[in-house]
A and B are shown apart, each in its own frame.
Chain A
Amino acid sequence: MRRSGWLNVLLLVLVVAGALSVVTSQHKARKLYLAMQQEKEHARQMEVEWGQLQLEQSTWAAPARVESIATARLQMRLPQKEQVRFIRVETVGKVGHP
């Protein structure tokens, strides 16, 4: 009688401890899930921003814009044919027209 009484108490303690650990791990799981959701949302936002940055980059680097700045503001132009010299790789040292 005495022995089984102690056993009961021990089991009771174990059950209570088990129940509490279920509660805490459930709580932890939810917290982690929440954190994961936030990270996912963050990742989504980053993706959106990436798309927007790509758009911005391609708008700034549009050939038409580069061209107009090069010709108008930087006064760049294609070289005249007299200004072009070709260097042939296979005949080392020989420089001149092709």
Chain B
Amino acid sequence: MNYTASEADQSAAKLPGWRASLLFALILLALAGLLVRAFYLQGIHDEFLQEKGNQRYSRVVEVSAHRGMLTDRNGEPLAVSTPVESVWASPSVIKMGDLKDAKMDEQQLVKLAQLLSMRVSEVHDRLADTTRDFVYLKRQLPPDQASEVSGLNLAGISLKREYRRYYPAGEEIAQTLGFTGQDDNGQEGLELALQGDLAGKPGSQRVIKDRRGHMVEDAGSLQPPKPGADIMLSLDLRVQHLAYRELKLAVQKNKAKAGAVVVLDARSGEVLALANYPSYNPNNRAQLTPEQMRNRAVADMFEPGSTMKPFTVATALETGKVKPDTVINTENGVLTIANKKIHDTHPEPFLTVAQVIQKSSNVGASKIALSLEPSVLWQTFSDAGFGAHTGSNFPGEAIGMLRDAHTWKPIEQATMSYGHGISVNLLQLTRAYTAFAGDGDIKPVSLVKLDAPAVGKRVFSEKTVGEMRAMLESVVLPGGTAPMAQIAGYRVAGKTGTAHKLEGHHYSNRYVASFVGFAPVSKPRVIVAVMIDEPEGGQYYGGLVAAPVFSQIAGETLRMYNVPNDAPLDNVIVPPTDADSSREEV
């Protein structure tokens, strides 16, 4: 046995015991450190790492939501959003400036310019500033053309999806629909009024993407996209076309400055057509003037003239002060109130109340108005919706002016009875006639299709309405001011208006010719109002300028809707050619 070795072993084993314990403690400490660190990373500071991890594969993508469609009452599209692509480039990536390390050669450049239908030099110029990271090459390219561009697979050229709105009915309905801007938000007209419902809310979604950028897994929807609602308007594209066509013809024929037409459904108060001329093409708004953009039927106020007379007379009938056959002393056509003279075009010593309407006598209307309390007349005008919103919610509606009855002087009460000193918009005026076309109710107007007819507010009794309809029908018969408003096969009632335009504080020799009427009288279906601004073709009376437009639009609309005739087809009585009776005081 070798004791020496054994002794040496023993002495080695007898090294101080604390060394082992120290080492063990150190190892334990290191372990504890690792555990704490692990716990810290996993349990407390986990968000940071989680995020870093997610960044490797998880992406939040935006899910686009398109804008809702506007259709007419029969579902014909009036405004449709369709996706287009905008081509943008990153000049700092392409480095077209110094050709040494350019990512695009001459051939590719020519090809790109060809696809974008731009000049090569133009594309080159856009790419010249290599300090920029973003420059649009071409906005709103059709999808098929855009896919050819992306097919070129050029570095630094990308596509961006945008929406463009198309209006298939074009200029015929431009001011009523309005339009949207580059970002597909409503800027004018109904597009603006209905923005809240039409606009889609883009959503977002968390997805997991693979190396090649494909989505491989849905990691939870953050916010579901909410596409905009499709809205069915009350407008009828066919009626709108008729209205616009006839209005355009009339404005051109009479060399007028402008014109507007409103067609209402007499039963429900829905707007079937709202046309303006001059108009513009909403699909190409390069040269657009505010003049063309304005919806004159809603945004313009005018003094209505004689189209107000029926409301004066109906108020008098309602109070029982007069009957249709009550004789009024019309003073041979001249009435002086406070040094102001009121004239009639056809001076008569006496007229019945019915003839005051038929012949549009200002003196007669003034006398009837002066027999009424101002507050009573004011109440009728106010109930008829003058000086208040029509309920159409159209942006920029001019509510007109109806002054408080306390401030009326007798001369003002007289002129207001025939539509001067009061201003209205055409839609208000048309709406007021729902009282005569219905059973005395003024209905709110709607530009959106209704499920059930709107409930109106009773203004006149049925008896008064019956008497008024007879009077208004006499207006279009021989002896009245608007024989040209007659329609073959249908009975027509209406009232002409011819008003001097107020410029500053003086009435000028420019006119607004108007006609508001409804048909068929036995069971009214449509109310049509026509307003022609500054006719200068020699004629300016409402009965000669506006009434024929009414006849065309109402006649064709009734035929189109298959409304049963309430008169023989040979009912139209051609007036004498000089049409003297069509003249009315202005």
Contacts and interface: CB of A to CB of B under 8 A. Distances in A.
Contact of A33 (B77, B81, B217, B565): B217
A54 B79 CA distance: 10
A97 B216 contact: no
A64 B569 contact: no
B215 A58 contact: no
Interface residues of B, number: 29
A62 B168 contact: yes
A33 B489 CA distance: 65
Q: Is chain A's binding surface mostly helix, strand, loop or mixed?
A: helix
Given A33-B215, A81-B570, A98-B565, A63 B80 contact: no
A58 B76 CA distance: 7
Given A62-B168, A81-B569, A97-B568, A34 B215 contact: yes
B114 interface: no
B569 A58 contact: no
A54 to B, nearest CB: 5
Interface stretch (B237-245, B357-365, B377-385): B237-245
A18 interface: no
Interface residues of A, number: 21
A34 B217 CA distance: 8
A62 B169 contact: yes
A23 interface: no
Contacts of B245: 64, 67
B218 interface: yes
B569 A97 contact: yes
A90 to B, nearest CB: 11
> Interface on chain B toward A: helix, strand, loop, or mixed SS?
mixed
Given A62-B169, A63-B238, A51 B82 contact: yes
B215 to A, nearest CB: 5
B82 A48 contact: yes
A29 B217 contact: yes
Interface string A30-68: 100110010000000000100110110011001110010
Given A58-B77, A62-B169, A48 B569 contact: no
A51 B69 CA distance: 9
A72 interface: no
Nearest to A83: B569
Contacts of B241: 62-64, 67
B196 interface: no
A62 B69 CA distance: 17
B143 interface: yes
Given A51-B82, A63-B241, A64-B245, 20 more contacts: A30-B216, A33-B216, A33-B217, A33-B218, A37-B215, A48-B82, A48-B83, A51-B80, A51-B81, A52-B82, A55-B77, A55-B166, A58-B76, A59-B168, A64-B172, A67-B245, A81-B489, A97-B568, A98-B489, A98-B568
Interface of A: 29-30, 33-34, 37, 48, 51-52, 54-55, 58-59, 62-64, 67, 81, 84, 86, 97-98
